[in-house]
Chains A and B, each alone.
Chain A
Amino acid sequence: MPATGSSQRSEEAAAPAAAPLAEEHAARHARAARRGLATILGDRGVPGRQRPLLTRLIAVALLVQVVPGLVSGPNLLTLNLACVYAMAAIGLSIVFSLGGFVSVAQAAVMAVGGYILILLFGPTVGFPVALLLAGLGGALVSALTGIVGARVKSHYFILISLALAETIQLVITNATSVTGGANGVGLKAPASVLGLDLGLPTDYFRFITILTFVVIYLADSLRASRAGLALRAQTVDGYLALAAGVAIGRYRIMATAIGGVFAGLAGGMVAIRDGYLGPQNFGLDTSILLLLMVVIAGTGRAGSVVVSALILTFLSQGLLTLTSTGTLIYGMGLIVLIIFAPEGLGGLPRLARGALGRLGARRAGTASDDGGER
């Protein structure tokens, strides 16, 4: 592309009349290339747009100061859960939109992290160490799926991750001497870090917000890095990436490992939030919920995953705990969203603009039909 672009530019100098045409040609190419990426990464999956670090830091400081004063009680607990899910979902979005794997094992990876933390953390092993080990354990298990998955085609990966997730669930339920089985296992000591008492929902919120922002920053940095570029290239066209000398197998396994770190951390934070873990925290429905957060966010951007995690956590906590009518509405809502919002929540403004544009065009009586393109 750059080669043809420069040759067009030299023509432009020679023949000014041809310039608009050549420019339009180049612009159309750029748009088409972006749309090619957009089918997988969403509209804004183009690199080079990182929010500056300072803005992020100010945002964290504001959230940490303001929110615990505004939100309290069960809402704060749900907010904390949403942050946990957001971390795991950001990990899954790396596995999904960068690795190209559709995984239903993310909750099981969380379970590994959660159980590592709850079993290790105590008087001898401190909280930060246990949390790091939880992340590491998550990375190992998730990389295992990547190693297996790099050998099979994408739709088989769902089945493999399903098998892994259910096996982990079986082990948790049956290895009663270690995990407490279906009864679960409790936290041995109260956790505190950076002077925050994590037993309190407000302090927990402060810590998880900081952690979530670190995860967002790391995920965005990965996307913008050379490895991220390689991963994005292989999701667009694996064969082409291979031909260009990208070791796609290694990068994809790396993507699953990094996604696993975030899930492991999130699992550990579930243990701290509830003070207790059981197999029911990490069932298939949780994995599906996380996958929905990623798909509904549409763009692979960590920020939009957080937004959809917030929405879906509150929705699911509200609807799923009610009755089967609530579950029915939840299921219907899922189907409607998947059908009518092809690019997820991130695509909704564009969708609305397109619809408005078409409406306006019809009203004006013109035959313009490119409202969706702008």
Chain B
Amino acid sequence: MSTFIQAVVAGIAAGAVYGLLGAGFSLAYKTTGIINFAHGDIAMLGAYVTFSVFGWGAPLFVAALAGVVAGGLAGAVMERGVLRPLYKRPLVAGILATVGVSVVLQSVIQLVWGSLPLTLPSLASSTPWRIGSVAFSPAQAVLLAVTIIVSTALIFAVDRTRVGRGMRACAQDSGVVVLFGISPERLYLTAFAIAGMLAGLAGALITPTIGLTPSRGVSLSVLGFAAAVLGGLGSVTGAIVGGIAIAVLRNLASVYVSAGYADAVAYLAIVLVLLVRVRGLLGDDLETVRSV
């Protein structure tokens, strides 16, 4: 029983970060329809920038902020430089271009930081508190707290602000929002910038546990996709819940089935959700009627 609770508790903390990844992916997908294969690589870029700024003597908190800014910049540059010319073309073109961006980011990281694995200290101590037989570390508490704060702010922004309303409107019909004085192109930029910032944050938060390697981005992308799809594409709350669900299931699978097959849970979740309930756990009806 205690192993079970331990797996769940550890899963909740790790899942919060997958949720952040998923939320960013979901936001950009919802606004533009593009599946961003470079999302995990932007997260790794954020993590590496955090590593460097921390290495120059800045406090870890400031370094993580630098990582967030770097992620946001990468997202914005990708939107402006690569995706902007492709909006009038079939979606495949945009999606493949993000694959190109992923390749570029990976090799840039390799050129700047080398391909050897690096480590980053976590924001708080990882000596666990013990409650009964269950361990929970301050580092995990910080992960969870940051996720809750950021996602609350994001949900507020999407639900209440003009930009957020514009994004939701744009998801429904990018042709009509123009009539209301909203520029879809500016919204696309905002969406990718925010998605990049969320990815950078997730990268800075998760790398103390998984370490820094240039090729890690792809698996982060996949985890983000899985979180977003399970929670319901387009829903921020859904992405966080989906991320936590995937992490908990992964932990349980690696405890009770086999560590090698832990990731299969994420893949299975993607397929099952898309087959049985396209809107995911918390998605809205929009996704089920959207015609692409």
> CB within 8 A of B222: which of A154, A162, A328, A335?
A162
Tell me how far the C-beta of A118 lies from the nearest C-beta in chain B, rounded to whole angstroms.
Answer: 21
> CB within 8 A of B260: which of A40, A162, A170?
A170
> CB within 8 A of A327: which of B86, B107, B229, B271?
B107
> Which of A1-9, A259-267, A287-295 contacts its partner?
A287-295
Tell me how far the C-beta of A177 lies from the nearest C-beta in chain B, rounded to whole angstroms.
Answer: 13
Q: Known contacts A156-B278, A163-B270: does B95 contact A102 (CB below 8 Å)?
A: yes
B292 close to A335 (CB less than 8 A): no
**Docked CA distance A327–B111 (Å):** 10
A334 close to B261 (CB less than 8 A): no
> CB within 8 A of A174: which of B97, B107, B225, B258?
B258
Interface string of B222-234 (1 = CB under 8 A from A): 1001000100000
Task: Say yes or no: is A155 at the interface (Cβ < 8 Å to chain B).
Answer: yes
Task: Say yes or no: is A200 at the interface (Cβ < 8 Å to chain B).
Answer: no
> Which of A145-153, A203-211, A214-222, A245-253 contacts its partner?
A145-153
B99 close to A288 (CB less than 8 A): yes
B82 close to A162 (CB less than 8 A): no
**A144-196 CB contacts (< 8 Å) to partner B:** 148, 151-156, 158-160, 162-164, 166-167, 170, 173-174
B103 close to A334 (CB less than 8 A): yes
Task: Say yes or no: is B96 at the interface (Cβ < 8 Å to chain A).
Answer: yes
Which residue of B is nearest A329, CB measured?
B107
**Docked CA distance A163–B268 (Å):** 7
Task: Say yes or no: is A325 at the interface (Cβ < 8 Å to chain B).
Answer: yes
Tell me how far the C-beta of B292 lies from the nearest C-beta in chain A, rounded to whole angstroms.
Answer: 6
Q: Known contacts A102-B95, A335-B104, A339-B97: does B35 contact A159 (CB below 8 Å)?
A: yes
B96 close to A324 (CB less than 8 A): no
B271 close to A148 (CB less than 8 A): yes
A160 close to B271 (CB less than 8 A): yes
Task: Say yes or no: is A284 at the interface (Cβ < 8 Å to chain B).
Answer: yes
> CB within 8 A of B82: which of A173, A325, A328, A335?
A335
**B95-129 CB contacts (< 8 Å) to partner A:** 95-97, 99-104, 106-108, 110-111, 115
**Docked CA distance A164–B271 (Å):** 8
Interface residues of B, dominant DSSP? helix
**Docked CA distance A102–B229 (Å):** 18
A338 close to B86 (CB less than 8 A): yes
Tell me how far the C-beta of B77 lies from the nearest C-beta in chain A, rounded to whole angstroms.
Answer: 12
**Docked CA distance A152–B266 (Å):** 18
Q: Which A residues lie within 8 Å of B107 (CB)?
A: 324-325, 327-328, 331
A166 close to B263 (CB less than 8 A): yes
Q: Which B residues lie within 8 Å of A338 (CB)?
A: 86, 93, 96-97, 100
Task: Say yes or no: is B14 at the interface (Cβ < 8 Å to chain A).
Answer: no
- Chain B contact-residue range equals 35 or more
Tell me how far the C-beta of A236 lies from the nearest C-beta in chain B, rounded to whole angstroms.
Answer: 12
**Docked CA distance A324–B290 (Å):** 40
B100 close to A334 (CB less than 8 A): yes
A159 close to B270 (CB less than 8 A): yes
Tell me how far the C-beta of B32 lies from the nearest C-beta in chain A, rounded to whole angstroms.
Answer: 11
Task: Say yes or no: is A225 at the interface (Cβ < 8 Å to chain B).
Answer: no
A159 close to B229 (CB less than 8 A): yes
Task: Say yes or no: is B148 at the interface (Cβ < 8 Å to chain A).
Answer: no
Q: Which B residues lie within 8 Å of A331 (CB)?
A: 100-104, 106-107
**A304-334 CB contacts (< 8 Å) to partner B:** 324-325, 327-328, 330-332, 334
> CB within 8 A of A332: which of B99, B104, B218, B264?
B104
**A10-29 CB contacts (< 8 Å) to partner B:** none
**Docked CA distance A177–B258 (Å):** 15
A156 close to B264 (CB less than 8 A): no
Task: Say yes or no: is B274 at the interface (Cβ < 8 Å to chain A).
Answer: yes
Task: Say yes or no: is B141 at the interface (Cβ < 8 Å to chain A).
Answer: no
Task: Say yes or no: is B275 at the interface (Cβ < 8 Å to chain A).
Answer: yes
Q: Which B residues lie within 8 Å of A291 (CB)?
A: 96
Task: Say yes or no: is B267 at the interface (Cβ < 8 Å to chain A).
Answer: yes
Interface string of A128-154 (1 = CB under 8 A from B): 000000000000000000001001111
A163 close to B267 (CB less than 8 A): yes
Interface string of B33-44 (1 = CB under 8 A from A): 101000000000
Q: Which B residues lie within 8 Å of A167 (CB)?
A: 264, 267-268
Tell me how far the C-beta of B148 lies from the nearest C-beta in chain A, rounded to whole angstroms.
Answer: 27
> CB within 8 A of A170: which of B96, B97, B100, B261?
B261
Q: Which A residues lie within 8 Å of B160 (CB)?
A: none
**Docked CA distance A327–B225 (Å):** 25
> CB within 8 A of B91: which of A155, A164, A284, A288?
A155
**Docked CA distance A195–B66 (Å):** 65
B292 close to A154 (CB less than 8 A): yes
Q: Which B residues lie within 8 Å of A39 (CB)?
A: 90
**Docked CA distance A268–B115 (Å):** 33
Which residue of B is nearest A154, CB measured?
B292
**Docked CA distance A148–B229 (Å):** 16
**Docked CA distance A158–B101 (Å):** 17
Q: Which A residues lie within 8 Å of B110 (CB)?
A: 324, 327
Task: Say yes or no: is A354 at the interface (Cβ < 8 Å to chain B).
Answer: no
A159 close to B274 (CB less than 8 A): yes
Among B93, B108, B263, B271: residue with most chain A CB under 10 A: B271
Which residue of B is nearest A238, CB measured?
B291
Task: Say yes or no: is B92 at the interface (Cβ < 8 Å to chain A).
Answer: yes
Known: A159-B229, A338-B97. 5 other contacts (CB 8 A): A156-B278, A159-B274, A328-B107, A335-B100, A338-B86
6 contacts between A and B (CB under 8 A): A39-B90, A295-B96, A327-B103, A327-B107, A331-B103, A339-B85
Report B's interface with A, CB cutoff 8 A: 33, 35, 82, 85-86, 89-93, 95-97, 99-104, 106-108, 110-111, 115, 218, 222, 225, 229, 258, 260-261, 263-264, 266-268, 270-271, 274-275, 278, 290-292
Closest 7 CB pairs of A and B: A331-B103, A331-B104, A334-B100, A163-B267, A327-B107, A324-B110, A174-B260
